[in-house]
Amino acid sequence: MRWDGILDRAEEAFLALSLAFMTIVTFVQVVLRYVFDTGFVWHLEATTYAFGWLVLVGMSYGARTNTHIAVDLLSTRLKPRAARAVGAVALLASLAYCALMIYGSGVFVDRLMTLGNDARDIPLPRWLLTGIMPIAFALLGVRLLQAGWRMFAAAQDRGAAR
C-alpha cells in the first residue's frame, strides 16, 4: 500500500473515532444526568476538543474527496486556460493560508508548552489537546498539493488529447 493510501485510511479512522467518541460520551452524559442525576465534569471540554479535531482533520478530508463547497460560477464560464489560472491563484492562496496557520498554530502550541497550562477539566496539558492544529493544516497543505497536481495533470491530459 502506498503512503497516501495509509494516510487516507488514517485520516478516515481518525474522523470516525472522533465522531464515535463525541457521540458515545454525549449519550453517556445524557443518561447519567437524566437517569442518575450525576455526570462527568470533563464531558463538555472533551467533546469540544474532539469536535475541533474533527473539523480540522475534516478540512483535509474534504479537500481529498473534493466535497468542499465550491463557488464555480465564474470559473465554469471561463476558457480552460483562464480557469486553470484562476485555479492556480486559488491554490496558491490556499497554500499560503495553510503556511500561515501552520506557523501561527505552531507558535501557539509552543507558547502553551512553555507556559505549562493544563486544560480546565481534563487532566492533560493544553498543548497536547491543541497540538493537532499545525498537524491538521500541514495535512490540508498536502491535500491541496494533491488536488493541484490532479488539476494540472487533467489539464495536461486534455491538452495532449487535442
Q: Read off the pLDDT of residues 68-126 as tens digits, 9 standing for 90 and up.
A: 777 777 777 888 888 888 889 989 999 999 999 999 999 999 999 999 999 999 999 99
Report d(CA 101, CA 95) in Å as an integer: 10
Prediction pTM value: 0.85
Report d(CA 63, CA 92) in Å as an integer: 14
Domain ranges of the chain: 3-161
**Element of type H or E holding 53:** helix 43-65
Average pLDDT across the chain, whole number: 89
Q: What is the pLDDT of residues 14-66, one digit of tens each?
A: 999 999 999 999 999 999 999 999 999 999 999 999 999 999 999 999 988 88
Q: Output the nine-digit C-alpha cell for 102.
A: 501552520
Report d(CA 92, CA 145) in Å as an integer: 9
Q: Output the nine-digit C-alpha cell for 14.
A: 481518525
Longest dimension (CA), the chain: 71
Q: Output the nine-digit C-alpha cell for 43.
A: 464531558
Q: Provide CB contacts within 8 A for 58, sequence distance 6+.
A: 15
Q: Among all chains, which residue has been given the C-alpha cell 474533527?
A: 54
Q: What percent of the chain has pLDDT over 90?
A: 67
